[in-house]
Amino acid sequence: MDHGHAAASSDFSLIVPYLVFIILATPVLVWLLDRHSLRRDAAIAQESETPDESGRHRYDLLGIPWVHRLLKTRGFQFAFQLPSALVFLLVIVAGIWGTQLGDKNFATVVTWLIWWAVIIFTFLFLSRTWCMLCPLVSIAEWMQRGKLWGVGKRFFSLNRKWPRVLRNFWVPTGFFIILTWMYLFLGLASSPLYTALVTIGLFIVPAIVVSLIFQRRTFCRYVCPIGGIIGAYSMTAPLELRNRSDEVCRSCKQKSCYRGSENGYGCPMFELPQTMETNTYCTMCTECIKTCPNDNIALNVRPFLSDLWKTKKLGFDVAAIVVILLGVTVFQTLSMVEPWNDASNALMEATGLGENTVLTLSYLVLAVFAPMLIFSLWSVTSRRLGGKEVSLKSVFIGFSFAFLPIALSSHLAHNLVHFFEEGTAIVPVLSDPLGRGWDLFGTANIIAEPLLHTETLRLVQMTLIAIGYLGAVYVGWRVARQTFGDRLRSVIGLSPMLVLMIAFAALNLWLLNLPMGMRE
């Protein structure tokens, strides 16, 4: 969206204390983690068996009677799906028939300054709860089931199985790369029409087609353009749906959580709570809560980042999207700063290529290929230092999730600009969603001030980057101990990854302090 303002001139002195903190905190944090591991290993040696940590630091919200009753209610999901579907219906109507001024249209303001800015925070705090109420697939699910919220047969689906070769994150990753490219190439944030068409053509229509041919929420698991990033980011969340007792699950013959019953549908994402270790595929739809005959499902509050070292069942496809996210979040911020305009103009003059070609090639190289190449080289180095008997694949996959807090914090920092500086555009747009001169709620002529001033916002952004870095070091240590075994090899194997973490954190801090060009 072309908002036409630039940030204040760069003050790189702000970077120095954050960089000093990051560099000094790294060895201290690693030392503290090592001491903790020593004490834990000693305690395990005395007990002569490894303690079961699956239930540690967990609080089951379903132990609260009213929460349990609410989530057992069949209409619970629909109560959230319907209003969100109406909002996105207005997005489509406004995008097609409203003004094409991006900052005056409901479609672009709500989609890119409110929804896309806030949704990343829901992944951090509420896991994949967005998927539970997602209107982009709700219509397809209603058609597939022939019901809005009741339980019945799937009247309008062939119920085919998704091809085995495509049962991974490669299709969602490809669509995510395309969606991000379209955001940059088509200027989606400033184009109501393109926003509406992408919503229809990349989400709603494919969701309906896939749902009418294939089983359950095949679209959400294997196709959705943002399903991959949601699955990855949700692993950091302090909320999880899990089984309470493995023994109860083993003795259960019905497996209603997977197959369904008269009380609800089988898991739309093909997950069995008994074997589920991460949030990656759980859409928090609560069907398993409704169908479990033994009331063996827990909705746990847990520590942040809890899934990021439980990656044995996750493959290279999930790890790849995490690494690509590192590049995409950096490139999105890079494309907003003034030096990028100078660099792209220089490339156009040197190569004779057009602006769109330079943008596309720069995006593919810097956001996709370079991160994969760099992380692969670093994984080779880490493996050689930590222990060659460890497979390169396990090193790549394990440590990729250690970088997820950095990617997430970078994404959050980027989106803060849209929400806190530009999101107040929603105030007049609510009264005039199509830009037709209406004043439905008396706010059409209000010019709202940014929620945070630039200086305050920048400090919040940089603090987020620092917190993300500390989270990455913590997860990296857990992964190193899990991958390399003994303490010395873990420290040595982790060392190159720490250097790369510092580099990414420093790059993000530097970009945040560059003068902003015109917004998208």
pLDDT at 485: 84
**Cβ partners under 8 Å of residue 91, min gap 6:** 106, 107, 110, 111, 195, 196, 199
* pTM summary value: 0.92
Q: pLDDT, tens digit, for every residue of 3-28?
A: 444 444 456 778 999 999 999 999 99
Pick from 278, 320, 268, 288: nearest CA to 162 = 268
- The amino acid present at 459, given as its one-letter code, is L
Burial 297-322 (b: 16+ CB within 10 A, else e): bbbbebeebbbbbebeebeebbbbbb
**Cβ partners under 8 Å of residue 297, min gap 6:** 62, 241, 242, 243, 244, 257, 273, 288, 289
What span, in angstroms and rounded, lies between the C-alpha atoms of 520 and 518? 7
Tally Cβ neighbours within 10 Å of residue 54. 10
pLDDT at 42: 75
pLDDT at 175: 96
Each domain of the chain, given as residue ranges in start order, spans 12-38+318-512, 73-234, 244-295
What span, in angstroms and rounded, lies between the C-alpha atoms of 511 and 330? 8
Token couple for 292? 């479990």
pLDDT at 499: 97
Pick from 198, 197, 191, 199: nearest CA to 100 = 191
What span, in angstroms and rounded, lies between the C-alpha atoms of 191 and 99? 10
- Residue segments in the chain with a per-residue pLDDT below the cut of 70: 1-11, 44-45, 47-55, 154, 517-520
Asked if residue 196 lies in contact with residue 99, where contact means CB atoms within 8 angstroms, the answer is no
pLDDT at 514: 85
pLDDT at 520: 43
